[in-house]
Amino acid sequence: MPFEELMKKPYIIFLILLFACTSKQANETDCNEINQIVITDKFSETSANKKTQFTDSTTLSFFCQEIKRLQPVTKEPIVKVNFGYYMLDIVYKDGVEVQIEIIYTKFDGVVIRLDGKYYKNDELDSVMRGYLAPKEWQG
């Protein structure tokens, strides 16, 4: 269906506007709106689905600031060849959840997938792994 025909149907325009207004962009959010962050380890079967959650405002703000620093990649990375990944679930106070995958690729290093797009921020990876390290490693 050509674009001109779509634009003649008011309900389609309404749905597009509704979707655009209600979707959350994790890298454009107000850090005060985040209620919790849940990290799920998806690396190996021994650690599969090991979840760690954070609800304190200092940690949430720290993660949020790094998420805001995501930089789009210039070319689509090869993510099918990877060593595993972490899933970050951002839960907002209004109940909306956004998923971010931190993927450890063989050829492109650490890549972050959000809303089907790829980003880089090595500091986000470092922050996350620092929080997930065993207590005796944290000093």
pTM, entire model: 0.70
Q: Check residue 137 and give its pLDDT.
A: 56
d(CA 27, CA 121): 12
Residue-level pLDDT at 46: 59
Side-chain half-sphere CA neighbours of 3 within 13 A: 0
Per-residue model confidence (pLDDT) at position 27: 54
Mean pLDDT by 10 residues, the chain (139 residues): 52 44 53 90 67 90 89 88 87 92 87 91 83 61
Q: How confident is the model at residue 98, as a pLDDT?
A: 92
Q: Which domains does the chain have, with CATH numbers?
A: 25-134 (2.60.40)
Q: Rounded to an integer, what distance in angstroms lies between the CA atom of residue 27 and that of residue 43?
A: 25
- In 2-108, DSSP assigns E strands to 34-41, 50-54, 71-72, 82-92, 97-105
Confidence (pLDDT) at 91: 93
Give the pLDDT score at 6: 46
Predicted local confidence at residue 49, as pLDDT: 59
Position 48 scores a pLDDT of 52
**Among all chains, which residue has been given the structure tokens 């931190």?**
102
Query: What per-residue confidence (pLDDT) applies to 126?
Result: 83
